[in-house]
Amino acid sequence: MIIEPRTRGFICLTSHPVGCEQNVINQIEYVKSKGKIEGAKKVLVIGASTGFGLASRISSAFGSDAATIGVFFDKPATEGRPGSPGFYNTAAFEKQAIAAGLYAKSINGDAFSNEIKEQVVNLIKEDLGQVDLVIYSLASPVRTHPVTGKRYKSVLKPIGDVFSNKTVDFHTGKVSEISINPAEGEDVENTINVMGGEDWKMWMDALQSENLLAEGATTVAYSYIGPEVTKPVYRNGTIGAAKDHLEATAFTIADDLKSIGGKAFVSVNKALVTQASSAIPVIPLYISLLYKVMKAKGIHEGCIEQIQRLYSERLFGGDLALDEKGRIRVDDWEMREDVQAEVNKLWKTATTENLSEIGDLEGYSNDFYNLFGFKVDGVDYDADVNEVVNVPSIQ
């Protein structure tokens, strides 16, 4: 079939298998171009099909020749209906990994559940024996608690006061003023339940109790801080409370791993266009200004550049450069004083009329379409493609 983008707000209902494949190939080529990383050899990535998790899987496989197991929650294609991008990405990843002689298996299902943890535990036992790196990169709006069965929904709200600021509809370029009401009822606890660290610890407990973590194993989860303008809705909001919990959990897990000489870290990453971040109000405007400034300074990075740098310079580069709260910071270039000062200045003047000039709306929009395999260079979108693509290890 011929597949075209069909967008509804900040989601795209279709995705393109050839475009997704090309994105994965481009990421692999990038990692290979940067040379070998003396990193982990047996890697579990939870949230492995898009964004930072996919970049982590690619960096491990093609930077360190690692065997990888990837866990994600995606929709396979059916006749006449394209699958979700993570499914196509994973199909492409496995194809490339197999061609390179690398072990790669994937599990598609709810990572929050006991069933999926059990499947992964069994797969590691059968195939790898132990893992030496666990990347935790889930981004989800809901979580069903595996013990109580209760379904929690996360929200993106400020805490305390109404937050008003500018935002942009990145499809139309229209800048407008929005007001977001503060969290109420159990909003904060619910968001912590979904995006906090409880599930990460459950994964690590499950792996450690079965002796599936190698001596010196490391685990890393991803967090975000961001600028002053998004603080009320991000870091000081409900999602920030969940990130505080995630970051605190790193210390709990680190204690648990002491007996095997293991380590647990949070890495604070840069703001990037992903399915998760497009849904957060105010952030798209910030990102479009940030991209403009960082590109002009020659320091723009995408997910793959971020994770390749995280691995080569921090995790396996001998200098973790932890901040005062014990976190790895690859948002260091985003948070540079000169970058933030310029973004701030632009923020004050941004309007519908000038945004296409002072911001990188085009870059934002392009990255958004790229997430779904559209507008990828070199792909013929008029060609008939087979929408049903299988992930080799999932048949």
Nearest to ligand NAD by Cβ — which residue? 51
Is 72 among the residues that bind ligand NAD (CB under 6 A)?
yes
User: Of 139, 25, 75, 54, which is closest to residue 394 (Cα–Cα)?
Assistant: 75
104 is in an annotated binding site: no
Smaller CB separation from ligand NAD, 48 or 213: 48
Among 10, 102, 110, 231, interactor with ligand NAD by CB under 6 A = 110
Between 334 and 373, how does the x/- string for binding to ligand NAD read (CB under 6 A)? ----------------------------------------
Provide the minimum distance between the beta carbon of 273 and ligand NAD in the complex, in angstroms, as a whole number. 7
244, 348, 228, 343: which is closest to 292 by C-alpha?
343
Identify the residue among 30, 73, 88, 170 touching ligand NAD (CB under 6 A).
73
Tokens of 34: 């940067």
Among the residue ranges 33-41, 107-115, 124-132, 160-168, the one whose residues contact ligand NAD (CB under 6 A): 107-115
Site for ligand NAD, residues 222 to 251, rule: CB under 6 A? 222-224
CB-wise, 52 or 364, nearer to Na ion? 52
138 labelled binding-site residue: yes
Among 275, 288, 308, 393, binds ligand NAD (CB under 6 A): 275
Tokens of 204: 């690590």
**243 in a known ligand binding site:** yes
Q: φ, ψ for residue 60 (rounded to 5)?
A: -70, -50
Residue 157 DSSP SS3 = coil
Positive or negative, the CA dihedral 80, 7, 366, 266 is: negative
Nearer to ligand NAD, 214 or 307 (CB): 307
Any contact of residue 53 with ligand NAD (CB under 6 A)?
A: yes
The answer to whether 133 is annotated as binding is no
Choose from Na ion, ligand NAD, none: what does 73 bind? Cβ within 5-8 Å by kind: ligand NAD
Q: Is the Cβ–Cβ distance between 64 and 41 less than 8 Å?
A: yes
Phi, psi of 235 (to 5 degrees): -70, -30
Residue 378 near residue 22 (C-beta atoms within 8 A): yes
Please list the alpha-helical segments (H only) found in 167-237: 187-195, 198-209
Instruction: Give me the amino acid identity at 55.
Output: A
Distance CA 85, CA 77 (A): 10
Separation between Cα atoms, residue 306 and residue 297, nearest integer Å = 16
Say which amino acid occupies 159: I
- Residue least distant from Na ion (Cβ): 53
Which member of 88, 136, 222, 234 is catalytic?
Answer: 234
Q: Interface with Na ion by CB under 5 A: which range of 43-51, 94-102, 248-256, 363-371?
A: 43-51
For this structure, is 234 an active site residue?
Answer: yes
**Torsions phi, psi for 38 (to 5 deg):** -75, 75
Give the residue among 245, 252, 297, 300 at the shortest CA–CA distance from 273: 300
Q: Where on the chain is the footprint of ligand NAD (CB under 6 A)?
A: 47-53, 71-74, 86, 110-112, 137-140, 222-224, 269, 271-272, 274-277
Show which residues are catalytic: 234
Q: Where on the chain is the footprint of Na ion (CB under 5 A)?
A: 47, 51-53, 137
Binding residues for substrate: 224
